[in-house]
C-alpha cells in the first residue's frame, strides 16, 4: 500500500503535536516510499537479525592491525 | 628579506609544511597569523567562510607560541586552524549555524579542542556551517551562504561548508568538521580538499553539538592527506568523557605514510556508487585507478549488494535521531529555523520507531556482511565521493522537485559508511567542467585509518590535484 501524505501528516500531529505542512507531507511520502518498501523487503528476504550492541562489538573485533 | 619571503607564499604550504617552517623558525607564528588575517580580510567578503574571527586572541597566542622553547612545542605549534561552529569552548559562543543558539555559551571545552590546543594549534575563528549541521549544501539562512572558492555561484557542500571553503581558500591550514551523512567528505569533494570520516569510536565526540548520536563523527579537513595524518594523531584516542570513544591504541599515522600501495587490493564499487555519474566524473575516477595501478596496487571490480539497504537504514537512523533531538524546539521555536533545516526536521518526525529499531539491529549484521564479503576481496573500497560536481545555489535550494532530487543525490555515496562505521577518506582526483573539483572516496576496514591514509598519500605523491588553488571566480560575472 503506498504511503499516504494525509495519513503521515495526521500521524505526526497526533504523535508529536506538530503540524506537517501538506507539501512536506507529500515530499515525505515520496521520499520514504521506496525506502519503506526496501525495508519491508529486507524483513522478508534477509536473514539479518541482530542486537543493537552487535555493531560496536563487530567493529572492534575486526579492527585492522596497524601496518 | 622578510621572514615570509623565506618560505614563499604560505598559501602554497600544507599544514605539515607550515608546521615544519615554524618549527625550523623560518617563519614565526605571529607572521603567519598576520598573513592569515590579511588574507581573511580580503576573501571573507567573497566567501563568507567564517561566522566569527578573533585575530586579537590569535595574535596573543602566536606571540606566546613564538616565545616557547623548541622542546616544549607540539606537532601543530603555531599553525592557524578554525573549526565548524559547533565545537564547544568554555565561555565562547558556539552557534551551530543557527539563530536559536546565537548566544549559546557552553561551560566546558570539547576534548578534541583541548588536544589541538595542547599540540600548539592557534584557533583564528569559527566557521560557517549548515544550520544544526542538517543538510549537505552551503546555504545558511542566518549567517549567510558560504561560497565555493572554485566558483562563488556554487555551493561548497555541507554541512561543514566553512571548513571546505576555508581550507580550499587557504584561510586556515586545518579544520574540524563533523560528518553524520557525508558532512566532511562532501565539502571536501566540492571544494577540492582532503577530508576524513574516521571509524566509529576513533575520535571523541565530547563537547560537539549532537546531530544524530549513532552517526556523528568528528573529522579533519586539510589540503593534503599527510596533514590529516598529523591532525588525526593529535585528536584520536580514548576519552574518559566519551564512553563511545574506543580504547584501541592509536597508530602513528604519519610513520606509515611512505609505505606505498604496492600489492594493495583496491575494490571498485561500480554498481550503485557510479549510477548517474557524468562522463567527466567517471573519467577522473578511472584516471585515479590508473594512478593506483601504476603504483603497484591491484584493482578489482566489486559489487556491494548491501548498499541500498545501508542507505535506507542510514536515512531512517539519521532523520529519526535528529528530529527527536529537536522536538522541543520544533514545538516552541519553529519559526526560528531556516527553511532547509525546518523542512528536514519536520520530515524526520514521520520516521516510525519500528524502522529506526530495524536500522539499529541490522547495523551489526550488515557490517559483518560487508567485512566478510567485500573486504575478503579488497583491502580498500573505491567510489566517487559524490557522483556530481558542486551545483549552483539555485540548483540546490530545495525549492522544487528537481532541486530536491539533486539534493538527494549529494549524500547517497557517503551516508552508507556513516551507518557502517567504516573510515572513509575523500581526496581530489580531477576536475569537471566548468573547472569544478571531482573526488574519490576510499573506504577502509574498522580502525584502518593508517592504510587508508597511506593509500591517499601515495596518490597525492603521484598527482597534484590537491595542490591546485582556486581562482575565486564568479561564473555569473564572466
Q: Is A66 on the interface with B (CB under 8 A)?
A: yes
Which of B347, B348, B422 to mutate against chain A (most A CBs within 10 Å)?
B347
- B167's enclosing H/E stretch is helix B161-168
Beta-carbon contacts of residue B309 (< 8 Å; ≥ 6 apart): A38, A39, A42, A46, B362, B366
Taking residues B396-402, what's their average pLDDT? 88
Residue B451 and residue A67: Cβ atoms within 8 Å? yes
Mean pLDDT is lowest, of B82-86, B275-279, B400-404, for B400-404
Domains of chain B: which residue ranges? 3-477
Which of B350, B351, B405, B422 to mutate against chain A (most A CBs within 10 Å)?
B350
Angle at B410 between CA B407 and CA B416, to 5 degrees: 125
Residue B97 zone, left/alpha/beta (φ > 0; ψ -120 to 50; rest):
left
Whole-number pLDDT of residue B401: 85
Whole-number pLDDT of residue B210: 97
Whole-number pLDDT of residue B4: 73
| Beta-bridge partner residues of B175 | B221
Residue B347 and residue A55: Cβ atoms within 8 Å? no
ipTM for the complex shown: 0.93
Task: Indicate the pLDDT class of residue A14, thresholds 50, 70 and 90.
Answer: very high
Handedness of CA B465, B30, B219, B300 (dihedral sign): positive
Q: Is B398 on the interface with A (CB under 8 A)?
A: no
B167 and B222 in contact (C-beta within 8 Å)?
yes
Q: Pick A14 or B404 by higher pLDDT.
A: A14
Residue B248 and residue A60: Cβ atoms within 8 Å? yes
State yes or no: pLDDT of B373 exceeds 90. yes
Q: Pick A34 or A46 by higher pLDDT.
A: A34
In degrees rounded to 5, what are phi and psi of residue B416?
-55, -40
Taking residues B166-186, what's their average pLDDT? 98
Whole-number pLDDT of residue B475: 82
Q: Which CATH superfamily is domain B3-477 in?
A: Amidase signature (AS) domain (3.90.1300.10)
Q: Is A32 on the interface with B (CB under 8 A)?
A: yes
Number of residues that make up chain B:
478
Whole-number pLDDT of residue B84: 98
Of residues B212, B450, B369, B198, the one with CA closest to residue A58: B369
Residues of B with CB below 8 A from A58's CB? 364, 367-368, 371
Which three cell numbers, joined as nine digits, stand for B77? 605549534
Task: Indicate the pLDDT class of residue A1, thresholds 50, 70 and 90.
Answer: low
Whole-number pLDDT of residue B83: 98
Of A17, A50, A66, the CB nearest to B362: A50
Catalytic residue annotation of B: 84, 159, 183
State yes or no: pLDDT of B337 exceeds 70. yes
Strand order through the sheet with B424-432:
B175-179, B217-222, B194-197, B424-432, B436-443, B380-384, B265-269, B298-302
Overall pTM surpassing 0.90 (yes/no): yes
Q: pLDDT tens digits for B24-75?
A: 999 999 999 999 999 999 999 999 999 999 999 999 999 999 999 888 889 9
Q: Pick A48 or B233 by higher pLDDT.
A: B233
Whole-number pLDDT of residue B72: 83
Whole-number pLDDT of residue B3: 61
Of B315, B327, B366, the CB nearest to A48: B366
Whole-number pLDDT of residue B106: 98
d(Cα A14, Cα A10) in Å, to the nearest integer? 6
Whole-number pLDDT of residue A66: 65
Strand positions, DSSP E, B247-320: 265-269, 298-302
Whole-number pLDDT of residue B474: 83
State yes or no: pLDDT of B326 exceeds 90. yes
Which three cell numbers, joined as nine digits, stand for B316? 531512517
B160 and B129 in contact (C-beta within 8 Å)?
yes
Q: pLDDT tens digits for B141-152?
A: 999 999 999 999
State yes or no: pLDDT of B126 exceeds 70. yes
Whole-number pLDDT of residue A42: 87
Question: What is the SS3 assignment for B443?
Answer: strand
| Beta-bridge partner residues of B266 | B299, B380
State yes or no: pLDDT of B183 exceeds 80. yes
State yes or no: pLDDT of B2 exceeds 70. no
Residue A50 and residue B334: Cβ atoms within 8 Å? no
B22 and B78 in contact (C-beta within 8 Å)?
yes
**R_g of chain B, CA atoms, integer Å:** 21
Residue A64 and residue B448: Cβ atoms within 8 Å? yes
Which of A52, A66, A67 to mutate against chain B (most B CBs within 10 Å)?
A66
Of residues B386, B408, B377, the one with CA closest to residue B315: B408
Amino acid at each position: 500500500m503506498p504511503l499516504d501524505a494525509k495519513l503521515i501528516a495526521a500521524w505526526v500531529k497526533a504523535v508529536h503535536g506538530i503540524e506537517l505542512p501538506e507539501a512536506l507531507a507529500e515530499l515525505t511520502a515520496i521520499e520514504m516510499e521506496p525506502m519503506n518498501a526496501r525495508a519491508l523487503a529486507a524483513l522478508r528476504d534477509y536473514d539479518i537479525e541482530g542486537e543493537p550492541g552487535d555493531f560496536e562489538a563487530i567493529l572492534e573485533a575486526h579492527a585492522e592491525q596497524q601496518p | 628579506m622578510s621572514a615570509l619571503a623565506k618560505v614563499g607564499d604560505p598559501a602554497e604550504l600544507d599544514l605539515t609544511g607550515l608546521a615544519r617552517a615554524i618549527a625550523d623558525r623560518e617563519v614565526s607564528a605571529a607572521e603567519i597569523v598576520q598573513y592569515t588575517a590579511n588574507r581573511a580580510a580580503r576573501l571573507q567578503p567573497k566567501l563568507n567562510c567564517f561566522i566569527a574571527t578573533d585575530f586579537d586572541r590569535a595574535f596573543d597566542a602566536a606571540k606566546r607560541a613564538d616565545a616557547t622553547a623548541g622542546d616544549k612545542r607540539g606537532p601543530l605549534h603555531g599553525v592557524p586552524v578554525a573549526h565548524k561552529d559547533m565545537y564547544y569552548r568554555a565561555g565562547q559562543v558556539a552557534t551551530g549555524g543557527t539563530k536559536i543558539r546565537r548566544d549559546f555559551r557552553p561551560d566546558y571545552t570539547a576534548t578534541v579542542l583541548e588536544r589541538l590546543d595542547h599540540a600548539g594549534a592557534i584557533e583564528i575563528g569559527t566557521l560557517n556551517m549548515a544550520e544544526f549541521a542538517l543538510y549537505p549544501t552551503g546555504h545558511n539562512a542566518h549567517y549567510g551562504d558560504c561560497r565555493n572558492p572554485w566558483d562563488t555561484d556554487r555551493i561548497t557542500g555541507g554541512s561543514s561548508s566553512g571548513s571546505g571553503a576555508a581550507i580550499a581558500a587557504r584561510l586556515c591550514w586545518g579544520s574540524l568538521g563533523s560528518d553524520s551523512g557525508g558532512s566532511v567528505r562532501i565539502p571536501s569533494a566540492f571544494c577540492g580538499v582532503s577530508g576524513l570520516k574516521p571509524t566509529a569510536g576513533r575520535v571523541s565526540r565530547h563537547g560537539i553539538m549532537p546531530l544524530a548520536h549513532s552517526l556523528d563523527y568528528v573529522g579533519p579537513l586539510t589540503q593534503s592527506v599527510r596533514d590529516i595524518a598529523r591532525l588525526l594523531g593529535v585528536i584520536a584516542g580514548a576519552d574518559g568523557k566519551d564512553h563511545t570513544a574506543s580504547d584501541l591504541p592509536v597508530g602513528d599515522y604519519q610513520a606509515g605514510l611512505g609505505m606505498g600501495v604496492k600489492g594493495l587490493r583496491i575494490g571498485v564499487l561500480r554498481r550503485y556508487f557510479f549510477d548517474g555519474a557524468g562522463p567527466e566524473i567517471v573519467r577522473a575516477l578511472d584516471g585515479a585507478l590508473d594512478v593506483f595501478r601504476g603504483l603497484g596496487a591491484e584493482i578489482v571490480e566489486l559489487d556491494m549488494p548491501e548498499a541500498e539497504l545501508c542507505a535506507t537504514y542510514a536515512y531512517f537512523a539519521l532523520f529519526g535521531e535528529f528530529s527527536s533531538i529537536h522536538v522541543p524546539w520544533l514545538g516552541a521555536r519553529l519559526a526560528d529555523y531556516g527553511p532547509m533545516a525546518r523542512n528536514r526536521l519536520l520530515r524526520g518526525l514521520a520516521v516510525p520507531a519500528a524502522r529506526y529499531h530495524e536500522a539499529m539491529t541490522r547495523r551489526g549484521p550488515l557490517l559483518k556482511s560487508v567485512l566478510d564479503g567485500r573486504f575478503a576481496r579488497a583491502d580498500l573500497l573505491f567510489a566517487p565521493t559524490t557522483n556530481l560536481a558542486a551545483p549552483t545555489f539555485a540548483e540546490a535550494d530545495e525549492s522544487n522537485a528537481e532541486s530536491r532530487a539533486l539534493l538527494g543525490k549529494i549524500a547517497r555515496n557517503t551516508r552508507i559508511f556513516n551507518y557502517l562505521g567504516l573510515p572513509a577518506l575523500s581526496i581530489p582526483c580531477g576536475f569537471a567542467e566548468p573547472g569544478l573539483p571531482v573526488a574519490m572516496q576510499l573506504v577502509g576496514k574498522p580502525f584502518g585509518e593508517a592504510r587508508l591514509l597511506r593509500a591517499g598519500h601515495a596518490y597525492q605523491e603521484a598527482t597534484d590535484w590537491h595542490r591546485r588553488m582556486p581562482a575565486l571566480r564568479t561564473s555569473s560575472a564572466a
